[in-house]
């Protein structure tokens, strides 16, 4: 256990936070623990308590960041390790969760020396460890469309018809998938070239730091462009993300609250040349985490990532609304935010249709997001300020987001109507 702190102001704030937490007022408790941390940023208990508040709010990224900080301040703090284990479990990171549970158990006294409360913790940690171990060994089938060898992919079918559509001046989804595939493929080709080397005991990377931009651009244009075409695709992708995160000094721990705080600090220290790529890489990595979680059936995890993406984008586009795009980056443009909200909306709809338990949003929240997307899209039609836009881009970032939002609203009303009849 960590030693008792001596900062009376921080201790008073902590006690207020604990009281609010016990009442179920988790956001208010979170703020009190944040104030306590400002008073004394060296106390592991305050970070661990804020992590508990984040867990209660299902803010797993921020919970993990706080728990990691607590374990660094006090490596023998069992509750900090347990909260890291719970957070990483919520993010679908089974191996990290198992390790954290093991560390939590290791930090407890030997059973013969344990008090009753510590034995309760031991039982809780053991149950958590078993749950993570079960998840680790449970086979996970990636959902999607499996294509037989020789069967044409959507972009190949589109390529065969695109000239015909162009000559007839027809607007077709073929334009969308073809252009989405082009960007996705360009990113994947760069990704496949990355190599890892060990020099003097240090891992170094040789590659180009622009794969993530093209891969995510392609997916935001049309999620159907995502495909895995080689056995080591996921391994290569993970290596590329690690490389780009290191290259651009992106944030690898923490959620939207952490990134907002750190981005301001980095902006003051190093300016937009550092903040722009760091934010872009972080946001795009989260988008991919959300997509991969959806494909693995980890729907709550996907919602965590998409929600944090949208939170950061809405925040940044507001506070930096007068900063030129060349400085703040394209991620704060309306089209990019609309594309991210489209992915978030799709994940929400999937959670509801699959009747996922313990969601931190309702059907009404989804309908509200639908109306926001529809209203915002109508209020900002394509203009000369957007530059020369291809047909596929207009469909991807105007027609499709609005169309899908309208369809989800209709589906929701029909579901409510049919439920009322039965």
Give the least confident one: 133-147, 258-272, 324-338. 133-147
Q: What does the DSSP 8-state code read for residue 144?
A: S
Distance of CA 201 to the CA centre of its chain: 32
What is the arithmetic mean of pLDDT over 337-347? 97
Three-class secondary structure of residue 195 per DSSP: strand
Tens of pLDDT, residues 347-390 = 999 999 999 988 889 999 999 999 999 999 999 998 877 777 78
> What pLDDT is stored for residue 389 in this prediction?
75
Confidence of residue 334 (pLDDT cuts 50, 70, 90): very high
- Specify the DSSP element, H or E, that contains 321: none
Dihedral sign of CA atoms 206, 210, 214, 216 in order? positive
- Count helices and strands (H / E) in the chain: 19, 2
> φ and ψ at 171, to 5 degrees?
-90, 120
Question: Does 246 score more than 70 pLDDT?
Answer: yes
Could you give the CA distance from residue 218 to residue 221 in angstroms, rounded to a whole number?
5
Q: To the nearest 5 percent, what fractions of the chain are helix, strand and coil?
A: 75, 0, 25
What is residue 303's predicted lDDT score, i.e. its pLDDT? 94
CB 341 within 8 A of CB 296: no
Give the confidence band of 24 by pLDDT, cuts at 50, 70, 90: very high
pLDDT in the model for residue 113: 57
Of the spans 51-55, 224-228, 414-418, which averages the highest pLDDT? 51-55
DSSP one-letter code for 358: S
Buried residues in 368-379 as b, exposed as e (16+ CB within 10 A): ebbeebbebbee
Buried/exposed code over 315-327 (b: 16+ C-beta within 10 A; e: otherwise): bbbeebeebeeee
Q: Which pTM does this prediction carry?
A: 0.85
Distance (Å, rounded) from C-alpha 71 to C-alpha 80? 6
What DSSP string runs through 154-182?
HHHHHHHHHHHHHHTT---HHHHHHHHHH
Domain ranges of the chain: 8-137, 158-421
pLDDT tens profile 35-65: 999 999 999 999 999 999 999 999 999 999 9
Strand 202-206 and strand 195-199: the pairing is: antiparallel
Return the CATH number of 8-137, one of 1.10.10.10, 1.25.40.10, 3.30.110.40, 3.90.50.10: 1.25.40.10
CA distance to 99, 374, 382, per residue, from 390 (Å)? 49, 21, 11
pLDDT of residue 207: 92
Give the Cα separation of 62 and 108 in Å (integer): 25
Q: Encoding tokens for residue 62? A: 């921020």
Which pLDDT does position 152 carry in this prediction?
A: 80
Q: Residue 34: what pLDDT?
A: 95
Span 329-343, mean pLDDT? 97
The arithmetic mean of pLDDT across residues 6-15, rounded, is 90
Checking if the pLDDT of 114 tops 80, the result is no
The whole-angstrom separation of Cα 372 and Cα 303 is 18
What is the per-residue pLDDT for 397?
Answer: 95
DSSP structural state of residue 386: G
């Amino acid at each position: 256990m960590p030693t008792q702190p001596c900062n009376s102001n921080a201790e008073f704030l902590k006690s207020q936070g604990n009281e609010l937490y016990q009442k179920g007022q988790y956001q208010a408790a979170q703020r009190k623990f944040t104030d306590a941390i400002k008073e004394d940023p060296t106390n592991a208990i305050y970070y661990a308590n804020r992590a508990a508040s984040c867990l209660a709010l299902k803010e797993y990224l921020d919970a993990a960041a706080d728990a990691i900080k607590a374990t660094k301040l006090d490596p023998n703090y069992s509750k900090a390790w347990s909260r890291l284990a719970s957070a990483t479990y919520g993010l679908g990171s089974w191996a990290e969760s198992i390790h954290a549970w093991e560390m939590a158990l290791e930090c407890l006294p030997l059973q013969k020396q344990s008090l009753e409360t510590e034995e309760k913790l031991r039982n809780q940690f053991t149950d958590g460890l078993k749950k993570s171990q079960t998840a680790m060994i449970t086979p996970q089938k990636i959902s999607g469309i499996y294509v037989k060898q020789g069967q044409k992919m959507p972009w190949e079918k589109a390529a065969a018809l695109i000239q015909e559509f162009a000559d007839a001046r027809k607007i077709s989804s073929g334009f969308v998938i073809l252009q989405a595939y082009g960007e996705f493929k360009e990113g994947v080709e760069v990704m496949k070239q990355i190599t890892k080397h060990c020099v003097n005991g240090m891992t170094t990377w040789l590659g180009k730091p622009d794969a993530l931009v093209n891969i995510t651009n392609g997916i935001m244009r049309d999620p159907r462009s995502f495909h895995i075409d080689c056995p080591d695709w996921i391994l290569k992708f993970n290596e590329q993300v690690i490389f780009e995160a290191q290259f651009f000094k992106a944030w690898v721990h923490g959620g939207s609250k952490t990134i907002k705080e750190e981005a301001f600090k980095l902006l003051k220290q190093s300016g937009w040349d550092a903040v722009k790529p760091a934010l872009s890489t972080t946001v795009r990595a989260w988008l991919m985490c959300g997509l991969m979680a959806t494909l693995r059936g980890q729907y709550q995890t996907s919602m965590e990532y998409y929600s944090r993406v949208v939170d950061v984008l809405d925040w940044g586009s507001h506070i930096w609304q007068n900063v030129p795009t060349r400085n703040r980056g394209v991620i704060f443009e309306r089209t990019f935010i609309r594309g991210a909200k489209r992915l978030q909306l799709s994940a929400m709809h999937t959670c509801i249709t699959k009747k996922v338990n313990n969601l931190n949003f309702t059907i009404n929240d989804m309908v509200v997001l639908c109306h926001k997307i529809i209203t915002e899209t109508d209020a900002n039609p394509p203009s000369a300020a957007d530059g020369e836009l291809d047909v596929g881009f207009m469909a991807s970032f105007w027609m499709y987001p609005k169309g899908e939002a309208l369809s989800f609203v209709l589906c929701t009303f029909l579901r409510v109507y049919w439920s009322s009849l039965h």
